[in-house]
Structure 1
Amino acid sequence: MNDIALVLWLERMYRRLRDTIQTRTIPALQSYFEESRTGAEVVWSRSPAHIRWFVFAFLFAAASRFWRLDMQSLWLDEGATWAEVTGKSYAVLARELISPDAAYPLYHLLLKGWVDLGGDSEFWLRLPSALFGALAIALLTLFVPRQPQRGFLLVLAATAPMFLWHAQDAKVYSMLLCVAVGLTMSHWRQKRWWALLLVLPFVHRLGFLMIAVLLITPALQHTGRRRTAYSIAAFCAGLISVVGIVDSIRAKAVLGAPTVFPLRSLFDLVARFLADRRWDDQIFSLPVWLWILPLLALLLLGTKQAVDAARTGNAQSLQLLFLAYIPVLMIVLSYGTTSSFDARYAVFSAPAWFVLMTNGASWTVHNVRLGKRHYSFVRVGRMVLLLAIAVNLVNLFEPARGIFSGAPVKEEWRVVMRELANRVNRNDVVVLHPPYALPLYRYYRRVTPDPLPRPVMFTVFSEGYRGSSTDLVAQREYQRRSFDVQFKAAVAGKHRALLVIAADHAAQIDPPIDAQSPYGWVGLYFQYPQKTWPCGGLDRYGVALLCQSFPSIAGTADAPQPEKRIDAQFGEELTLRGITIKPLGIFYQPNGTIPIELYWQARQPPLQNYHMFVHLCQRCNEPPFAQNDGPPLMGYGEAGMTKTWLVDDPVHDERSIVIPKYIKAGNYAVILGVYDDSGKRLPVVSAEGGVLGGDRLIIATIRVINESVIIR
């Protein structure tokens, strides 16, 4: 076949293929999708109205719960959840279903399967909570029999800050809300009520308290043996919950921790339920209690209506009142005098609160005269409801505090761990405080491909005092002495110490020493270093990174020495004695770091505070691929200002270059330079050569092979 025949044959085949697609394939696909669309429309139109509403309500609630689901870092409790589901086997988690020490075993068991299915990213860990949260709201709206009350309840609950928080939190409380909604809208004569009742204790052990409350209503509705049986069951469930609460308080008791009072706890719980804030917080400089007045008004109006209905023998209203207030009062009275109080322990009362608030929106005032106009009725409740929804939206988008403000509202472990990864060196010791933050340290090691050091933790603060259990001063002194000994042992032989600390959580076991600082003994050791050099850090929401460098190797009087000696003069004042460059792992990797230690000394008293830069470059007359630029020790302390350096006094400065994620294979140079405040670079003189342009020095050469950077 010659070329012309081949071209003609290809043209004929092209036309046949085009005609087949136009006359057969496309019409067939159109017919298929049309039939599918028509079938879906038929199924949708034939579905009961409450099913269609449920689907709409679920999608409406899910939209707000999926939005920015993984924007915030995991916080302490979410880290504990991750550790549970990834650190335990299915067999262990299954045994915990009947263990009295496991608070919410069913959630952990289900989440482990979920993680095995799709991984353990922040989004995937929180997705079950978002789904349970959307499902809870969609089900809750079905409790209201008609419109527009259903729509009111949907918008009010979907914008509730507390519901949104739990829906974007990898904890059990969104699942608990969902089960609580199912029980709230069910009747004890229904099978699903009994099924949910049996599941509830496995969702959360405090579910026994809700079971006790739920059994009160059928006990009052029956007589004879059935009343006795329901009463005994309610008493047993209540007794189990009380014993569990007492054990929980004992386990969490911390000597010297601040306590609260039941009335204050009640105020905090109300503020948490209605605004997800503390009672003494502020929103736009106004107290929280002022903002939640519309929500409180709806709650009180709905409560009055429920009380009136319960007096007429309405069992549903009676159960709604029991669910709304008995668990709240029990939690407040039990935890209200301890530092362990947390409003989320009573979260299964929240659905009843929102149903009551929606019922309160039906408040109508009749025969109203405003000026010359007369109104037969005014729907005051709906006006208050719209105001309450507006308050929810203001709360959600309040700058720096709202969940949807874009600002951090959870501890920023992701940011701080990335900063730690960017700074850590082989000769560093990393301290983590408090020790129970270890799961988050382990989780966020993934921010870098480099292996991070295993952190040092001081358990003396959580072990308790081995003397008097009531002498707080003696306990604190014992902790200080023990910590001092343990810290010196941990840093022996190291050049620098880095502290990762969650101050609010650390305060539970290592309380602040004075009101001027949020830190206890561990934090103060870094915040106000003695005989060490401060070397900066990072303070972010809920977690901070602090640094101190040791002028001499910890535990000795010897100054740290470089592995590679270099005698290079920068100007007339500074001498580079040498460098140490070692990978944290076996190889350097993209998105990892090149840790560098620079060893300096002054030849004569420096007249300016100089800055140093290290560049990673290939064609070094062009902009570098990556760099680290700044004064020594990040400019902190006297050692961070070269004007304070003494002649021949050794100074070591640790810094790192972050390797770009995508970097081509080839040879690269690491170059060093020094410049003054005006930006003028100091001239470089080195007997070993490697000087570029008279003001930059090649201190190392690296080679990138298969996305791994290897020092040579």
Structure 2
Amino acid sequence: MKRDFGWLALLLALLLLAAALRFHRLDAQSLWYDEGITAAHSARSLPELVPLLQVNVHTPAYFLLLAGWTDVAGDSELALRLPSALFSLLSVAFAYSLGARLYGRLAGWAAAALVALNSFSIFYAQEARMYAMLAAIAGFSMCLFIQLLRGRGRRGRTVVAFGLVNALGIYTQIVFALVMLGQALTVGWWLLRARPPSSSPPTSQGEAKSPPARTVWQILVDYGLANCLAVLLFLPWLPHSLQQVFSRPNRAQVLPPDEVLQVIAGHFAFGSNYALDMGLAWLVFGCLLLAGALPLGASRGGWRWLLLLAWLGISVVAYVALELTTRYLRFLLPAQLAFALLLGRGLWILWPQRLSRLLAMLALAAALLTMLAGLDSFYQHSDFQRDDMRGLVRGIAAVLRPDDGVIFSAPGLVDLLNYYYRSDAPTYALPSSRDDDEATRSQVADIIQRHERLHVIFYGEREQDPRQVVEDTLNRQAYEISDRWVGDLRYLQYASPTDLREPVTADWQFGDEITLHDYALNATALAGGEHLLARLTWSARQSLATRYKVALQLLDGAGILVAQRDSQPVGGAAPTIGWQAGELIVDQHGLMVPPGLPAGEYRLILSLYAAADPFARLLVDDADHVVLSEITVSQARS
């Protein structure tokens, strides 16, 4: 009794720690692109939501659940992410239950601890998506699978529960089929051996000696009935899933398979921040994993070992074979439970002998302490922060003017933008079609004419606008005045064309290759916060092998830099390596005069430098720049 109470106390302490780690800073970060889609789906009624989900690559269970949840809890960032945190907590509990059923409470507690402290698990516990739910359902399914095999509980209820949970798993995310495939492989192994599993947990030396509870054929019938139920329940949605899965473009990985396996192992063993904090922990995890992967007692107890290897191996092999990018590691979250259980099995194997027990305890303690110490970098390091759309939208709202407009790429960005955006400036989702480039150019040109300034947010534009028609049109017909990255979000500002002053003939020779024929400015007297626009006309004497950047700089009377704008010609749409000899390149640039800049006289200078080396400037008459104009700056207008 005391021993049972001790294990219960340890489990409760671990669950409290896991909860604290998952609820810590749960709403500190902005929602990102995928979470914006989740927020929009949760706000829709059922008749609106179902047709949208039928053309979504994700199956509907999570979104339907969250729609009901937000009706009660609201749609704040905390409310949207709370279900994921709770599902992740269930994953910790299921890891303990599975480990205890397979190899005893010590193995269960070790596996649960390795899930509880894993930052890969914590990351998706703090995301309003279905992946934490997927992992929890996978753990629940495996618990019922083991119960069905052993014949524990009421047979009919177990069969129905197992079938319903597997159906829920597929309705949560189609990759749950990999979990079911691992179960099928285990059942198939029994059929080949014609030996049912024991109804008792094994000892550390092999399978327990108690007689089998059921025959192989009884197991097969129950397993078949349960999965027939799951498949029948999923049949109505199967055509939609197949259509979406096979219509998706190939997202080939950029890493070779050996590096991909290292990334997967790091996430499974340590978490998302493994590259920063692993150190010698690889050795510790490697020892436990090696012990856990050994087929001890395979002649009688191998089904437990095979179940974990099949669950883990099938998921990893599928991931590598499909050449998915690291973005899709989230599909492997259920397999992280199998990895933790294999480590728990390693502890169970090393436990009987005094020396190996001591080594196992030290290895587990070192692993857990290393994971715990690494969580500070996980919570604070910029590599693990989601794209700050919240901060970006607030920044845009703070500088919006009555004649401004907002353009964004990717259909899902409209959902995320609408979650945070509370301004009156019009918003435009572009491109409206991936196939009609002329229509897109016309739309962009029309928007440029409507607004004095445009705020543009690009995300995944290579997928939405593979020929970059939107950006190319903006670069050729407007003046780019700023360009910066916010995580994976790219934020640009453009000023619309305005009347320019008379062009000034220059004929300046930059180096031996490039000539600036003339330039025109919009003004030589501006107020703080206004835009200085320049149109430059270039040509090259011959084809160029170097990418050059154009630098516009505003200097005060003492020659101190107060504003600067660097860009490749035409915003990168006409790089110098693509110039043909004698071809005239019309290049538009913008520079914002800082709002708080003191009134006075300033100089606008221009230079050209190699993109790979900012100090390698092309000389003009023995100088590294030319002066375009004196600029008079007045106080910013209120």
Query: Does TM, normalized by the shorter one, top 0.5?
Result: yes
Q: Work out whether 1:350 is the aligned partner of 2:336.
A: yes
Secondary structure of 1:429 counterpart: strand
Instruction: Evaluate the alpha carbon distance shift between residue 225 and residue 394 of structure 1 in structure 2; reply closer, same or farther with a 3 A threshold.
Output: closer
Task: From 293, 303, 320, give the equivalent of 2:308.
Answer: 320
> 1:9-36 CA deviation, whole Å, 9 max, x = no partner?
xxxxxxxxxxxxxxxxxxxxxxxxxxxx
Task: From 97, 108, 111, give the equivalent of 2:63.
Answer: 108
Secondary structure of 2:336 counterpart: helix
> 1:64-112 CA deviation, whole Å, 9 max, x = no partner?
11111111111111111112111x2134557889x69562322111211
Deviation at 1:489, TM superposition (A): 2.5
Deviation at 1:413, TM superposition (A): 0.8
Residue type of the partner of 2:299? R
Q: Contact 1:422–1:656 at 8 Å: present in 2 too?
A: no
* Distance in 1 (alpha carbons) for counterparts of 2:85 and 2:217: 44
Deviation at 1:253, TM superposition (A): 0.5
Task: From 262, 265, 272, give the equivalent of 2:267.
Answer: 272
* Distance in 2 (alpha carbons) for counterparts of 1:500 and 1:245: 31
Residue type of the partner of 1:353? F
Residue type of the partner of 2:19? A
Q: Contact 1:161–1:276 at 8 Å: present in 2 too?
A: yes
Larger radius of gyration between Structure 1 and Structure 2? 1
Residue type of the partner of 1:161? S
Q: Contact 1:58–1:135 at 8 Å: present in 2 too?
A: no
Secondary structure of 1:73 counterpart: coil
User: Hey, what does 1:393 align to over in structure 2?
Assistant: 372
Q: Contact 2:115–2:340 at 8 Å: present in 1 too?
A: yes
Instruction: Evaluate the alpha carbon distance shift between residue 410 and residue 598 of structure 1 in structure 2; reply closer, same or farther with a 3 A threshold.
Output: closer
Instruction: Evaluate the alpha carbon distance shift between residue 104 and residue 499 of structure 1 in structure 2; reply closer, same or farther with a 3 A threshold.
Output: same
Instruction: Evaluate the alpha carbon distance shift between residue 353 and residue 408 of structure 1 in structure 2; reply closer, same or farther with a 3 A threshold.
Output: closer
| Matches for 1:37-436 after TM superposition, within 5 Å | 53-86=10-43, 88-93=44-49, 103-145=58-100, 148-186=106-144, 187-188=147-148, 189=151, 190=153, 191=158, 192-218=161-187, 220=190, 221=196, 222-224=215-217, 227=220, 230=223, 247-253=243-249, 265-277=260-272, 282-283=275-276, 292-304=282-294, 307-313=295-301, 315-333=303-321, 335-336=322-323, 342-362=328-348, 364=350, 379-398=358-377, 402-405=378-381, 409-436=385-412
Looking at both structures, which has the greater relative contact order when contacts are Cα pairs under 8 Å and sequence separation is at least 6? 2
Deviation at 1:396, TM superposition (A): 2.8
Q: What TM-score do the two structures reach when normalised by structure 1?
A: 0.59
Instruction: Evaluate the alpha carbon distance shift between residue 214 and residue 394 of structure 1 in structure 2; reply closer, same or farther with a 3 A threshold.
Output: same
Residue type of the partner of 1:298? L
* Distance in 1 (alpha carbons) for counterparts of 2:138 and 2:381: 29
User: Hey, what does 1:625 align to over in structure 2?
Assistant: none
Q: Contact 1:363–1:382 at 8 Å: present in 2 too?
A: no
Secondary structure of 2:20 counterpart: helix
Deviation at 1:154, TM superposition (A): 3.8
> 1:216-261 CA deviation, whole Å, 9 max, x = no partner?
444533545863774697699699999988655532216x966666
* Distance in 2 (alpha carbons) for counterparts of 1:451 and 1:133: 39
* Distance in 2 (alpha carbons) for counterparts of 1:228 and 1:378: 41
User: Hey, what does 1:24 align to over in structure 2?
Assistant: none
Q: Contact 1:257–1:508 at 8 Å: present in 2 too?
A: no
Residue type of the partner of 1:90? L
Deviation at 1:315, TM superposition (A): 3.9
| Matches for 1:531-680 after TM superposition, within 5 Å | 532-552=478-498, 609=556, 636=565, 674=599
User: Hey, what does 2:452 align to over in structure 1?
Assistant: 495
Instruction: Evaluate the alpha carbon distance shift between residue 548 and residue 184 of structure 1 in structure 2; reply closer, same or farther with a 3 A threshold.
Output: same
Secondary structure of 1:342 counterpart: helix
Secondary structure of 2:454 counterpart: strand
* Distance in 2 (alpha carbons) for counterparts of 1:408 and 1:226: 45
Instruction: Evaluate the alpha carbon distance shift between residue 199 and residue 52 of structure 1 in structure 2; reply closer, same or farther with a 3 A threshold.
Output: farther
> 1:284-309 CA deviation, whole Å, 9 max, x = no partner?
6xxx79764433432232121xx224
Residue type of the partner of 1:203? T
Deviation at 1:433, TM superposition (A): 2.0
* Distance in 2 (alpha carbons) for counterparts of 1:60 and 1:246: 40
* Distance in 2 (alpha carbons) for counterparts of 1:178 and 1:322: 18
Deviation at 1:440, TM superposition (A): 1.3
* Distance in 2 (alpha carbons) for counterparts of 1:547 and 1:363: 61
Deviation at 1:194, TM superposition (A): 4.5
Deviation at 1:430, TM superposition (A): 1.8
Instruction: Evaluate the alpha carbon distance shift between residue 424 and residue 549 of structure 1 in structure 2; reply closer, same or farther with a 3 A threshold.
Output: same
* Distance in 2 (alpha carbons) for counterparts of 1:251 and 1:536: 37
Q: Contact 1:201–1:207 at 8 Å: present in 2 too?
A: yes
* Distance in 2 (alpha carbons) for counterparts of 1:49 and 1:322: 33
Structure 2: runs of 5+ lacking an equivalent:
191-195, 197-214, 503-522, 534-553, 568-589, 603-632
Q: Contact 1:161–1:274 at 8 Å: present in 2 too?
A: no
User: Hey, what does 2:623 align to over in structure 1?
Assistant: none
> 1:110-150 CA deviation, whole Å, 9 max, x = no partner?
21122122221111111111111112213322334456545
Structure 1: runs of 5+ lacking an equivalent:
1-44, 368-374, 467-478, 514-519, 558-572, 580-595, 601-606, 612-629, 639-650, 658-671, 678-694, 701-712
> What count of residue pairs does the alignment treat as equivalent?
505
CA RMSD of aligned residues (A): 4.8
* Distance in 1 (alpha carbons) for counterparts of 2:180 and 2:20: 32
* Distance in 2 (alpha carbons) for counterparts of 1:119 and 1:414: 18
Instruction: Evaluate the alpha carbon distance shift between residue 270 and residue 654 of structure 1 in structure 2; reply closer, same or farther with a 3 A threshold.
Output: same
User: Hey, what does 1:38 align to over in structure 2?
Assistant: none
User: Hey, what does 1:8 align to over in structure 2?
Assistant: none
